[in-house]
Amino acid sequence: MGAVFISLLLVVPLLVTPAAGAEGKRRKGETPQQLLRGMTLEEKVGQMMMVGFYGSEPTEDIRRLIRDVHAGNVILFSYSDNVQTPVQTAKLTNGLQRIAEETRLKIPLLISTDQEGGVVARMTTGATQLPGNMALGAGRKLKDSHEAARITGEELRAVGINMNLAPVLDVNVNPDNPVIGVRSYAEDPHLVANMGAAAIRGYQRHSMENRVVATAKHFPGHGDTDTDSHLGLPVIDKSREELERVELVPFRRAIESGIDAIMTAHIHVPALDDTPNLPATLSKPIMTGLLRQEMGYDGLIVTDSMTMAGVADYFGGVSQAAVKAVDAGVDIVLLTPALTADEQIEVYQEILEAVRSGDISEKRIDQSVRRILKVKLKYGLFMNHQVDEDEVAERVGTREHREKADEIARRSITLVKNERGLLPLKLSEDQKLGIISQYPLKEQVDRYHSHSTEIHMKGVNPTDEEIDQAVEMARKQDVLIVGTYSASLYPQQIKLVQALQELDKPMAVVAFRNPYDIQDFPGVDAYVNTYGYRPVSLEAVADTLFGSNQPQGRLPVTIPDLYPYGHGLSYSGSEPTDRIDP
């Protein structure tokens, strides 16, 4: 791969010349190193900034950040109105790239988002909604992981997003993990590594116009925490040997697979750096010593959001933490719309001042900028960073992509418990079916049984009044389907299910997120995991509940004291295979 990359540097028309009077002209054979020599310090530091903004089209704030701060990278979110529809997103990214073209060196932008699949997806309306990682882990097919990434990458690139902050390579060994859970493939580090490697190929190894930069996260591993790093600083209190056996396995495999970006975790790992309360993101022994030198990684290192409490609450706030992250060895500092444009500019200026004062060497900055430019070259951004807005509808949410998503979702549904042979449901026409769920299932269920009544919970933690209403409705039904969502985090859900159990009606519980919910109500008749609540998973679970889909999924995690890793039932009497299929 190295020889191929060097040859690309020599032959691909590249970048603009920095020579006086020649700005804006591209010259054959010019390399990132040649461009680097003509960049100002301000332009170099700007390339290391990934900035965010509010708006569905380019605003004056983002113009300032790209024009005045020389920001080389942008992150898009749905909550900030950046991502609404595919066509709107394509128009936005084209507009952002045009702003970059107006700068002196015309360096194109890396434009990123979090399109993990399942519960974390920024582009939903009009796009193919795919099951997430744990659903893929339950399905045990490496090809599904590859195809999910390929489809995601093609649709992102079609709208001008050239970097996906995925796949998640955290090994979810802690059932109480509040932030990873179903975003992980499994508790088995080797299954995570294999699935992750397949996803990396799906994102990165395609034609220039279809591939995106994949970003493995969250290094060195966020799977064994019981604290959300958005809210505090988790501590991974494991030995180096334990980390090597579990957390680091998927990242080593990702590096072997040619991953082009790795995102850091705001977690404290004393076995790797015992500096008190130091997040891995800010640790030179972890970022440079372990990741660069020991593991031999020379791709991009991107911070997780620097506004998260796991890093922002330490070392003097976001600006000082960003300086420490750059000094530790990261290449791109990720900022979000949680900071105003002025606050993001302050972060940039703080890094700039650290270099001017000698606290960070310009050589250290050059190392990062060189890596950033190489990636932009590798993905053809200097030649083709605009997208055809008229082709978006033909490339996003296609029938082929949706059918593949349906297949993947159907393979992932896991039947964990089935007492009394309740499933598949075989209801007579006059039997009444009650549905109580945070996510509407009635439309899917009505394809099989027209006599259903649904109470749609308004949130994940129902009020006592909502619970009473649900129980009253349930009294009039013959069979119940109840949806849950990470019930251990929301005690009112547990109260609801337990109140319904007292009615002694046949009841199937569908867990729409974490698979561990049955721990809080082990006596339910039937229990099914979907690992996600997107429409594709709702369709698949309805098909499974009524028998038109044979459950094939296997638990990718252990449910403590109840069900082992690999457990799964079918309707045929034989358990689904636990092997990993290519």
- Residue 515 sits at the vertex; the CA angle it makes with 510 and 520, to the nearest 5 degrees, is 80
Q: In 126-257, which ranges are continuous DSSP H helix? A: 133-139, 142-158, 189-204, 240-245, 249-256
Q: H or E segment at 528?
A: strand 526-529
Q: What's the chain's length in residues?
A: 582
Q: Which of 337-351, 444-458, 557-571 has the lowest mean pLDDT?
A: 444-458
Tokens standing for residue 225: 């925490």
Q: Is the dihedral of CA 97, 103, 106, 109 positive or negative?
A: negative
Question: Is-catalytic flag, 237?
Answer: no
pLDDT band at residue 572 under the 50/70/90 scheme: confident
Encode pLDDT of 241-280 as tens digits: 999 999 999 999 999 999 999 999 999 999 999 999 999 9
Task: Choose among 540, 575, 539: nearest CA to 554.
Answer: 575
Tokens standing for residue 392: 């978006």
For 418, phi and psi rounded to 5 degrees?
-155, 70
Enumerate the domain spans of the chain.
2-26+43-399, 413-545
Encode pLDDT of 335-346 as tens digits: 999 999 999 999
Contact of 158 with 392, CB cutoff 8 Å: yes
pLDDT band at residue 7 under the 50/70/90 scheme: very low
pLDDT of residue 312: 80
Encode pLDDT of 365-406 as tens digits: 999 999 999 999 999 999 888 999 999 999 999 999 999 999
Looking at domain 413-545, which CATH architecture does it have?
Answer: 3-Layer(aba) Sandwich (3.40)
pLDDT band at residue 30 under the 50/70/90 scheme: low
Q: H or E segment at 301?
A: strand 300-302
For 250-298, the DSSP string reads HHHHHHHTT-SEEEE---B-TTT--STT--GGG-HIIIIIIIIIIT---
Residue bearing the bigger pLDDT, 43 or 29 = 43
* CATH code of the region 2-26+43-399: 3.20.20.300
How confident is the model over 487-505, as a mean pLDDT? Answer: 96
Q: Cis ω on the peptide bond leading into residue 218 (within 30° of 0)?
A: yes
pLDDT band at residue 5 under the 50/70/90 scheme: very low
Question: Is-catalytic flag, 304?
Answer: yes
What is the rounded end-to-end Cα distance, in angstroms, of the chain? 24
The percent of residues above 90 in pLDDT, for the chain, comes to: 85
0.75 cut: is pTM over it?
yes
pLDDT of residue 29: 52
Long-range pairs for 1-8: beta carbons < 8 A, 24 or more residues apart: 1/258, 5/374, 5/378, 8/377, 8/378
Residue in 304, 331, 406, 543 annotated catalytic: 304
Encode pLDDT of 142-197 as tens digits: 999 999 999 999 999 999 999 999 999 999 999 998 889 999 999 999 999 999 99
Compute the distance between CA of residue 200 and CA of residue 562 in angstroms, rounded to an integer. Answer: 34
Contact of 414 with 515, CB cutoff 8 Å: yes
Residue in 206, 230, 451, 456 annotated catalytic: 230
